């Protein structure tokens, strides 16, 4: 049963060990790269601490007149080697960061994608597409980036602080204390600013996505806006959103602008104190000038990791929120699943055992079925219906009466809340979803085509079909002619979601797709509603041909498509109020009679009107 979707905001929670442990498990295959990165960072930290020390040595030792030129040469060679090796280590580090980021991100994307494919219809009823898109794109990238780059930056920052503290304390305790005293102040300050800044940026992103949405609606809804004269209203809303965007952006920038100078100011004070006190010591010969310089360099270098670690900690909060949302998605369970016994016998969707599939005859029975999408809102109640194999059943009734619900239940896109649905006398939950779906042809009102060629799109229903068989199927539904009229014929690219074709053309292609599969049960849910009357008449014959010998359900607005059905069911509020052949229902002078005569008159009017125009 679908629950109402609630956007969980994970961002304000404390450290969540459980989530990190789960993420660590997902990360495991990439941990070897991470270890290499950490090793490289530690080596680079040692070098970064070594360089000020070498500078000190250079000044304090080689400025003395009695030092030999030979040892200076050695020193210079050593120095150059160190600089060169830093470049090499950096290069390696970037290489492995990229490997970790792309590897882990790719793995998460794949896992989430698989999960999305396994989830049931009801999940997509209640989870906004935008939310899912944000998980698949933003959250995964952010998490992979933070783990690959920021986590390993810590492996540089912490050793740099420790090693330079050790060198400083062993050189001069008083001066070391001056450098260290400022560090906690900077740490607290940095952390505070980072958190505020991240929050501000989050607001900027929110405002930005609102504006994107405005643009989107402005473009996609342009026609509707014009016909409803909503331009002024929409523009006001847009203006409000841009103003908000400006406010939050200014706030974010202002935070950044205060923070940097403040940090510089505080670290300058520490450096000034060192020059002041250290200058005195150097003048009086207690320490060398090289040592003074080393301390100044350490002070400058010491605060960088402090600031960085504060930044990383706050980044980790955001990454944790991303991680929680990804885990939340990965842990969603499909509501419609096969039992272990069924899987044992028939396999899963991904690994089916078609050799165990029973052949479908096509008897279908609803046995005391009660169903609701949302708890408490019953759509079908104690619904009974028995259909003999091979019959063509037409469903008519007002919008919202429950026609699609009935066929969705047959397709097992949803399952009965109570009661059972029998196919060939067996509850369909005793056989696998794969078994049913491989015997089902389904054409929707808004058919979906995948990016790719027409040929590929038709062949999706039976991947081993030959080109000839695809042509056959297309000819049968009268799609062949319009396909051949394209320059590239069957190789024509349909565009994203089939955007380069008209809805009618998309429907014909999905008809061909269903025909090619040659299913035992055939379902057309308002499938002809976007095909013009002429084409409909032409494919009418084809549809009837296909449906012969198969159990078929036709939900149709236009009654001409259903007069030949074996049974017509009139549905109202989830109940069958009339049931019979066309001629029988007409005799009853009931709902169907009124529907038919009304539409008949409409058609007649349209015809007369057309003729007047042509004369």
Ligand X SMILES: Nc1ncnc2c1ncn2[C@@H]1O[C@H](COP(=O)(O)OP(=O)(O)O)[C@@H](O)[C@H]1O
Binding at 614: pick from Mg ion, ligand X, none (beta carbon under 5-8 Å per type): none
Residue among 128, 130, 400, 489 that touches ligand X (CB under 6 A): 400
Spatial separation of the C-alpha atoms in residues 510 and 602, rounded to whole Å: 29
**Which of 97, 379 has the CB closer to ligand X?**
379
Q: Residue 402 interacts with ligand X (CB under 6 A)? A: yes
Which of the ranges 51-59, 159-167, 301-309, 402-410 carries the binding residues for ligand X, by CB under 6 A?
402-410
Q: Does the protein bind ligand X through residue 405 (CB under 6 A)?
A: yes
Q: Which residue from 122, 314, 372, 404 is in contact with Mg ion, where contact means CB under 5 A?
A: 404
In degrees, to the nearest 5, what angle opens at C-alpha 436 toward C-alphas 490 and 369?
A: 130
Site string for ligand X, 413-442 (x = CB under 6 A): ------------------------------
Element (H, E) at 366: strand 364-374
3-state secondary structure at position 431? coil
Nearer to ligand X, 251 or 572 (CB): 572
Cβ pair 476, 511 in contact under 8 A? no
- Those residues whose C-beta lies under 8 Å from the C-beta of residue 505, and which sit 6 or more positions away, are 479, 482
**Residue with structure tokens 């009734």?**
397
Estimate to the nearest angstrom the gap between the alpha carbon of 469 and the chain centroid.
36
The strand ranges marked E within 409-507 are 418-423, 426-427, 440-443
d(CA 62, CA 58): 5
Least distance from C-beta 517 to ligand X, angstroms? 23
Structure tokens, 166: 């050790």
Looking at beta carbons only, is 389 or 444 nearer to Mg ion? 444
| Partner interacting with residue 400 (select from ligand X, Mg ion, none; CB below 5-8 Å by kind) | ligand X
The answer to whether 404 contacts ligand X (rule: CB under 6 A) is yes
Nearer to ligand X, 52 or 402 (CB): 402
C-alpha closest to that of 323 among 11, 6, 23, 18: 23
Partner whose binding site includes residue 125, from Mg ion, ligand X, none (CB under 5 to 8 Å by kind):
ligand X
Given 399, 485, 583, 612, the residue binding ligand X (CB under 6 A)? 399
Question: Can residue 401 be called a binding residue for ligand X (CB under 6 A)?
Answer: yes
Sign of CA dihedral 117, 120, 121, 127: negative
Shortest Cβ 379–Mg ion spacing (Å): 11
CA–CA dist 98, 33 (Å, integer): 10
Piece of the chain touching ligand X by CB under 6 A; list 33-41, 45-53, 69-77, 394-402: 394-402
Mark out the alpha helices in 31-68 (DSSP H runs). 31-62
| Residue 75, binding choice from Mg ion, ligand X, none, Cβ under 5 to 8 Å by partner class | none
Count of residues in contact with Mg ion, rule CB under 5 A: 1
Residues 264, 270, 271, 276: is their CA dihedral positive or negative? positive
Q: Which partner, ligand X, Mg ion, none, binds residue 402 by CB below 5 to 8 Å per kind?
A: ligand X
The interface with Mg ion within residues 140-159 (CB under 5 A) comprises: none
Q: Of 559, 562, 568, 571, nearest to 602 (Cα)?
A: 559
- Rounded CA separation 519/502 (Å): 26
In whole angstroms, give the CA distance from residue 96 to residue 36.
8
Phi, psi of 388, deg, nearest 5: -85, 145
8 Å CB contact between 186 and 337: no
CB nearer Mg ion, residue 144 or residue 395: 395
What's the min distance (Å) between Cβ of 403 and Mg ion? Answer: 5
The number of angstroms, rounded, from the C-alpha of 364 to the middle of its chain's C-alpha atoms is: 37
- Closer to ligand X at the Cβ: 320 or 408? 408
Stretch of residues binding ligand X (CB under 6 A), selected from 41-49, 68-76, 398-406, 533-541: 398-406
- In angstroms, give the least distance from the CB of 372 to ligand X: 8
Nearby residues of 445 by Cβ (< 8 Å), 6 or more positions away: 525, 526, 527, 529, 530
Choice between 152 and 372, CB closer to Mg ion: 372
Gap between the Cα atoms of 324 and 11, Å rounded? 9
Among 125, 368, 584, 602, binds ligand X (CB under 6 A): 125
Applying CB under 6 A, what is the total number of residues that bind ligand X? 12
459 binds ligand X (CB under 6 A): no
CB of 525 to Mg ion, least distance (A): 6
The CB-of-552 to Mg ion minimum distance in angstroms stands at 16
Taking the complex as a whole, the smallest distance from the CB of residue 561 to ligand X amounts, in Å, to 16
Query: What's the min distance (Å) between Cβ of 398 and Mg ion?
Result: 10
Range 346-375, binding ligand X (CB under 6 A): 373-374
Quick one: which of 307, 403, 459, 513 contacts ligand X (CB under 6 A)? 403
Q: Show the tokens assigned to 486.
A: 């394209």
Task: Name the segment binding Mg ion (CB under 5 A); options: 129-137, 191-199, 404-412, 574-582.
Answer: 404-412
* Candidate ranges 32-40, 243-251, 381-389, 403-411; the one touching ligand X (CB under 6 A): 403-411
Distance CA 268, CA 263 (A): 8
570 strand-pairing partners? 396, 578
Q: Give bridge partners of residue 607 from the DSSP assignment.
A: none
Give contact residues for ligand X (rule: CB under 6 A): 125, 373-374, 379, 397, 399-405
> Residues in the site for Mg ion, rule: CB under 5 A?
404
């Amino acid at each position: 049963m679908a629950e109402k979707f609630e956007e969980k905001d994970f961002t304000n929670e404390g450290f969540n060990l459980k989530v990190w442990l789960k993420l660590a498990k997902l990360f495991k295959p990439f941990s070897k790269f991470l270890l290499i990165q950490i090793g490289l960072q530690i080596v680079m930290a040692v070098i970064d601490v070594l360089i000020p020390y070498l500078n000190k040595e250079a000044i304090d030792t080689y400025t003395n007149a009695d030092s030999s030129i030979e040892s200076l040469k050695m020193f210079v060679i050593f120095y150059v080697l160190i600089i060169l090796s830093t470049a090499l280590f950096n290069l390696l580090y970037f290489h492995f960061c990229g490997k970790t980021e792309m590897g882990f991100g790719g793995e998460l994307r794949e896992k989430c994608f698989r999960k999305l494919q396994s989830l049931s219809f009801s999940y997509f009823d209640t989870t906004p597409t935008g939310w899912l898109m944000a998980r698949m794109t933003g959250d995964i990238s952010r998490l992979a980036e933070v783990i690959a780059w920021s986590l390993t930056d810590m492996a540089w920052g912490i050793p740099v602080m420790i090693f330079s503290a050790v060198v400083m304390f062993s050189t001069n305790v008083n001066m070391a204390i001056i450098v260290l005293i400022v560090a906690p102040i900077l740490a607290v300050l940095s952390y505070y600013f980072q958190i505020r800044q991240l929050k501000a940026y989050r607001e900027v992103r929110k405002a930005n996505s609102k504006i994107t949405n405005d643009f989107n609606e402005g473009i996609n809804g342009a026609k509707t806006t014009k016909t409803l004269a909503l331009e002024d209203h929409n523009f006001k809303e847009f203006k409000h959103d841009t103003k908000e965007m400006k406010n939050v952006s200014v706030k974010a920038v202002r935070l950044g602008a205060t923070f940097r100078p403040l940090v510089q100011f505080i670290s300058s004070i520490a450096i000034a104190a060192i020059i002041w006190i250290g200058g005195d010591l150097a003048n009086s010969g207690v320490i060398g000038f090289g040592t003074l310089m080393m301390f100044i360099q350490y002070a400058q270098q010491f605060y960088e990791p402090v600031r960085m670690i504060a930044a990383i900690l706050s980044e980790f909060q955001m990454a944790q929120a991303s991680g929680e949302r990804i885990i939340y998605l990965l842990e969603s369970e499909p509501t419609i699943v096969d039992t272990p016994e069924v899987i044992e016998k028939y396999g899963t969707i991904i690994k089916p055992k078609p050799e165990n599939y029973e052949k479908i005859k096509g008897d279908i029975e609803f046995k005391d079925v009660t169903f609701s999408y949302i708890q408490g809102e019953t759509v079908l109640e104690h619904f009974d219906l028995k259909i003999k194999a091979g019959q063509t059943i037409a469903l008519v009734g007002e919008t919202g009466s429950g026609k699609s619900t009935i066929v969705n239940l047959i397709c097992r896109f949803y399952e009965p809340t109570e009661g059972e649905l029998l196919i060939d006398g067996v509850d369909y939950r005793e056989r696998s979803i794969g078994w049913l779906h491989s015997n089902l042809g389904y054409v929707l009102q808004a058919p979906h085509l995948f990016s790719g060629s027409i040929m590929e799109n038709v062949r999706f229903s039976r991947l081993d079909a030959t080109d000839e068989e695809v042509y056959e199927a297309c000819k049968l539904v009268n799609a062949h002619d319009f396909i051949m009229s394209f320059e590239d014929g069957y190789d024509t690219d349909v565009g994203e979601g089939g955007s380069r074709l008209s809805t009618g053309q998309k429907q014909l292609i999905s008809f061909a797709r269903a025909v090619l599969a040659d299913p035992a049960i055939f379902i057309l849910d308002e499938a002809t509603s976007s095909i013009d009357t002429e084409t409909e008449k032409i494919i009418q014959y084809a549809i009837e041909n296909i449906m012969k010998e198969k159990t078929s359900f036709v939900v149709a607005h236009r009654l001409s498509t259903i007069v030949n059905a074996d049974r017509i069911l009139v549905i109202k509020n989830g109940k069958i109020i009339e049931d019979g052949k066309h001629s029988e229902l007409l005799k009853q002078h009931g709902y169907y009679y009124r529907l038919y005569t009304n539409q008949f008159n409409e058609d007649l009017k349209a015809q007369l009107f057309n003729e007047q125009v042509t004369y």
